[in-house]
């Protein structure tokens, strides 16, 4: 009985932990070369969570995300809970303290699963921040630099989510100052789990730290009357409303968005926003009067989410910011481009660019452009082939949804097995995941537009199964799942960190290029 109670308590704790989260002042509108780039940031994963449970959380969210994308029945919470229970039962022979121990972990230092993404794959992450270099001050991007005010507890002046000296919350690594004009960096959330950028909203302008997601199409932040579905306010975030903005106008029209880990509901409003200094006057977007704890908790480092899929996918039924920037003539085309940074490289050079591609970030001779084959508004392209160390897996006729809001790669079970059969030392865990040697040098490459893009072996060896044995087995960055069509993949940041990624609404096209 005592063991059963301890396990139940442990399971409840793990489920709670896994459900809790991962610029200069606005200048007058200006015309420019057509490029606008924002910094992306990253959020940490809570320590003490077993890696296999962490993996299952990623898999669960990927499955929910894809089901919503394809308008299929979403797995029930009961099914997803059972998946986690099986992972916990597999660890039953280990002492409970090794499975889940939150001693010394401050709640406001934990971050939840990368949310705001329709079914995204995100998880609590490590609390330890790498020491920041002086160059990482991200000049011109922080609230301190712009004079924007951080607020907490629904409009009360506060310090935000443990804002550090460099202007980003604890657990977020600031991007370097951008290298190109009209650019802001992508700040890194945790261990390559989420990517955040700072934009301004309202009059006077306030800084909002926003999660950037190519797999959804709605922009929202919390309202000044925001309430958590768990009760109470929406944490130490920045909010928007009549008290903070003289140009705020509420249409009264309601919206609701359900994501893989959480949901928000509120009203559609109009207010001024600035993206890298480009002003959109009277832009339509949402303020959330109600947020699930996945967004409302103090530990969540971001204030809202910007979806960058096509507006045909929007629950609010309004144009996305890139589309509005193009319509206003502030950028030449509704193009959004990503250079996603890898935390282990310590370069902090991630950027999101609006209006074109930043040619300094990629090898132009490798640029390939191909059609978007998804009719719903997601970014999905034909995948020519998948190879491992140059050996063709014979997986043809596949398509891939390219999604910055998903962490892993999720492939149909037979496809994932075929890939891992060619990786020496790889093994199935029997529950949809795989392990690979942490020391693997296997080169997995996905081909689009007749160009092969290799994935760094460090991204395939996603995380050690045993944190005390970094040279043992690692969880693979490629997992399996019933995605729907037997030929459809969901390809997230494990791949996208290895390529320059751009989407073009006007041409309904996707571009990839090899990084410089």
Q: Are strands 509-513 and 368-371 parallel, antiparallel or unpaired?
A: antiparallel
Tokens in use for 96? 């409970």
Contact 220, 318 (CB under 8 A): no
Distance CA 235, CA 239 (A): 10
Cβ-contact 300, 109 below 8 angstroms: no
In angstroms, the CA 399 to CA 290 distance is 36
The closest of 406, 426, 405 to 416, measured between CA atoms, is: 426
For 332-448, strand residue ranges (E) read 335-339, 351-354, 368-371, 380-383, 385-388, 391-392, 398-402, 409-411, 427-428, 434-437, 444-448
Report how far residue 270's alpha carbon sits from residue 395's, in angstroms, rounded to the nearest whole number: 47
- Check: CB of residue 203 under 8 Å from CB of residue 245: yes
CA proximity to 64, closest of 410, 305, 302, 301: 410
| Intra-chain end-to-end CA distance of the chain, in Å | 59
CB 415 within 8 A of CB 434: no
CA distance 95 to 112: 25
For residue 174, report the phi and psi dihedrals to the nearest 5 degrees: -70, 140
Tokens of 132: 């920041």
Which of 294, 297, 349, 403 is an active site residue? 403
The pairing of strands 262-275 and 278-291 is antiparallel
| 363 catalytic residue (yes or no) | no
- Give the alpha-carbon dihedral of 135, 138, 143, 144, to 10 degrees: 30
Element (H, E) at 195: strand 194-201
Question: Could you count the other beta carbons within 10 Å of the beta carbon of residue 105?
Answer: 16
Measure the CA–CA gap between 108 and 69, rounded to whole angstroms: 32
Nearest of 180, 176, 157 to residue 244 by alpha carbon: 157
Question: How far apart (Å, rounded) are the C-alpha atoms in residues 234 and 290?
Answer: 8
Q: Is 213 a catalytic residue?
A: yes
- CA dist 495 and 307 (Å) reads 20
| The one catalytic residue among 213, 303, 349, 504 | 213
Q: Is 134 helix (H, G, I), strand (E, B) or coil?
A: helix
Number of Cβ atoms within 10 Å of the Cβ of 16: 12
DSSP helix/strand/coil, 84: helix
What's CA 476's distance to the chain center, in Å?
19
Note if the bond before 204 is cis, omega within 30 degrees.
yes
| Residue positions annotated with a catalytic role | 213, 403
């Amino acid at each position: 009985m005592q063991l059963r109670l301890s396990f139940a308590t442990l399971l409840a704790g793990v489920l709670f932990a896994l459900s809790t989260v991962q610029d200069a002042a606005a200048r007058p509108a200006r015309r420019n070369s057509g490029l606008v780039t924002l910094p992306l940031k990253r959020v940490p994963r809570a320590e003490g969570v077993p890696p296999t449970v962490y993996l299952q959380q990623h898999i669960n969210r990927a499955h929910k995300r894809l089901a919503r994308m394809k308008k299929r029945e979403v797995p029930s919470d009961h099914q997803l809970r059972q998946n986690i229970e099986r992972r916990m039962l597999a660890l039953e022979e280990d002492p409970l303290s090794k499975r889940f121990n939150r001693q010394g972990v401050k709640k406001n230092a934990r971050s939840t699963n990368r949310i705001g993404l329709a079914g995204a794959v995100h998880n609590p992450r490590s609390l330890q921040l790498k020491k920041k270099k002086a160059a990482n001050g991200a000049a011109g991007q922080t609230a301190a630099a712009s004079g924007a005010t951080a607020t907490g507890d629904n409009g009360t002046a506060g310090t935000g989510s443990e804002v550090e000296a460099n202007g980003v919350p604890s657990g977020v690594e600031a991007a370097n100052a951008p290298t190109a004009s009209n650019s802001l960096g992508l700040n890194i959330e945790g261990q390559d789990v989420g990517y955040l950028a700072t934009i301004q909203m309202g009059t006077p302008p306030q800084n909002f730290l926003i999660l950037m997601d190519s797999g959804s199409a709605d922009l929202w932040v919390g309202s000044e009357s925001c309430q958590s579905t768990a009760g109470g306010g929406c944490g130490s975030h920045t909010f928007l409303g009549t008290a903070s903005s003289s140009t705020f106008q509420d249409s009264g029209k309601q919206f609701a968005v359900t994501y893989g880990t959480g949901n928000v509901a509120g009203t559609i409003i109009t207010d001024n926003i600035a993206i890298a200094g480009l002003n959109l006057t009277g832009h339509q977007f949402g303020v959330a009067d109600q947020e699930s704890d996945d967004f409302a908790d103090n530990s969540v480092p971001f204030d809202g989410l910007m979806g960058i899929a096509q507006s045909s996918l929007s629950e609010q039924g309004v144009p996305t910011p890139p589309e509005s920037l193009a319509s206003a003539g502030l950028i030449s085309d509704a193009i959004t481009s990503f250079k996603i940074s890898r935390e282990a490289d310590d370069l902090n050079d991630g950027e999101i660019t609006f209006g074109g591609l930043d040619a300094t970030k990629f090898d132009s001779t490798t640029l390939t452009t191909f059609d978007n084959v998804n009719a719903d508004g997601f970014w999905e392209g034909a995948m020519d082939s998948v190879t491992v160390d140059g050996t063709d897996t014979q997986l043809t006729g596949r398509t891939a949804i390219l999604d910055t809001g998903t962490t892993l790669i999720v492939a149909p079970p037979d496809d994932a097995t075929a890939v891992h059969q060619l990786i020496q030392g790889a093994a199935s865990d029997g529950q949809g995941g795989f392990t690979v040697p942490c020391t693997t040098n296997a080169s997995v490459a996905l081909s689009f537009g007749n160009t092969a893009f290799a994935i760094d072996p460090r991204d395939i060896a996603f995380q050690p199964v045993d944190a005390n044995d970094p040279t043992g087995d690692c969880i693979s960055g490629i997992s399996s799942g019933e995605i729907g069509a037997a030929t459809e993949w969901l390809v997230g940041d494990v791949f996208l960190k290895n390529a320059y990624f751009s989407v073009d609404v006007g041409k309904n096209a996707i571009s990839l290029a090899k990084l410089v």
